[in-house]
Amino acid sequence: MRITLLAGGVGGARFLRGLRAAAPQAQITVIGNTGDDINLFGLHVCPDLDTVMYTLGGGISEEQGWGRADESYTVQSELTAYGAGPDWFTLGDRDFATHIVRTSMLSAGLPLSAVTGKLCERWRPGVTLLPMTDDDVQTHVLIDDDAGTRTVHFQEWWVRLHAKVPARAFIAAGAERSTPAPGVLQAIADADFILLPPSNPVVSIGVILAVPGIAEAVAARTVVGVSPVIGGAPVRGMADACLAAIGVRSTAAAVAAHYGPGLLNGWLVDTADAAATGAAELAGIAVRARPLYMTDIDAAAEIAAAAISLAQELAHD
């Protein structure tokens, strides 16, 4: 069985851990969001790719959901002593090593996809992890604040401003000139089906779909998604602030409608949302309701198994 996913950070990574348990024989390819990537202190940081890599490789901080376990912060406190660069983005010493190795390989001319493969030789995540593109695509956020109407990097809005300044729009800067990384379109074409884990529909999966060619390739396949919204609120993070910016309500049904039947064939919602969503068809999208809280790996595996079942059912229709 071949399964390809479009994934952001924490939600995608935790779903993937369940998927790997539910389908240990499956060949899983993860197309990761790189719109959140940011250059900090001259180093290339890939928050979403690293969260997937660390989570599946056993190095994640379980408490945070991102960053390394057993982390220390000596480098960053020294950087602060130098008055260097942003202090609102926390990088631990172990994490710094990843960014140092990545930046060194990028500077030597390797594309991000090859670099990611090299980093995964250490972490052995059990999946093929691909960046959506090797090109520079950055998610920017259009905001109004005391400095006027301006765009800020997604991380500045998300981490420094805690997504509290209303976003007027998200811009995947550079996306129009980007191409999918090597292997991305093939992994979509070769997969038995595509899964959308409960990642942020706007700034994670939405940005991946903004890379020319990916949305069309995905739409041609059987696609099953897992709602990141339960009971009218995102399970984690501040996806509601992102949805609000693009005029989508924070409900499981609204997110499915946002993806639309042209992209999405099946949609898992939480039992709490079964009534509101309608347990039957939602505008051409097959809906199934079940508990969606990924409280542990077993719970994530059961959700993943349900997604596989629905995808197989739809693929054979």
Interacting residue ranges for a copy of itself, rule: CB under 8 A: 41-43, 72, 74-76, 78-79, 81-85, 93-94, 96-98, 100-101, 103-104, 107-108, 119, 121-122
Output the CA torsion 105→107→112→113 (10° steps).
Answer: -50
**Shortest Å distance, C-beta 69 to a copy of itself:** 12
Smaller CB separation from a copy of itself, 41 or 154: 41
Least distance (Å) from a copy of itself to the CB of residue 185?
29
Buried b vs exposed e over 115-126: b needs ≥16 C-beta within 10 Å?
bbeebbeebebb
The least distance separating a copy of itself from the CB of residue 108, rounded to whole angstroms, comes to 8
Closest CA to 235 of 247, 223, 248, 252: 252
Compare residues 86 and 213 and give the one whose CB is closer to a copy of itself.
86
Distance of closest approach, residue 248 Cβ to a copy of itself, in angstroms = 38
Residue 86, classified by CB atoms within 10 Å of its CB into exposed (0-12), middle (13-18) or buried (19+), is middle
Q: How many CA atoms lie within 13 A of 1 on its CB side?
A: 17
Query: What one-character DSSP code corresponds to residue 283?
Result: T
- Check the CA dihedral 72-77-78-83 and report its sign: positive
Measured CA to CA, the distance from residue 115 to residue 121 in angstroms comes to 10
Minimal distance, residue 33 CB to a copy of itself, in Å: 23
Report DSSP state, residue 250.
Answer: S
| 248-273 exposure pattern, b = at least 16 Cβ within 10 A, e = fewer | bebbbbbbbbbbebebbbbbbbbebb
- Give me the phi and psi of 144, to 5 degrees please: -115, 125
Nearer to a copy of itself, 74 or 271 (CB): 74
Quick one: 94 or 160, whose CB is closer to a copy of itself?
94
Q: How far is the CB of 5 from a copy of itself (least distance, A)?
A: 25
Closer Cβ to a copy of itself, 75 or 315, answer by number: 75
Nearest-approach distance from CB 53 to a copy of itself, in angstroms? 12
Choice between 84 and 233, CB closer to a copy of itself: 84
Smaller CB separation from a copy of itself, 66 or 259: 66
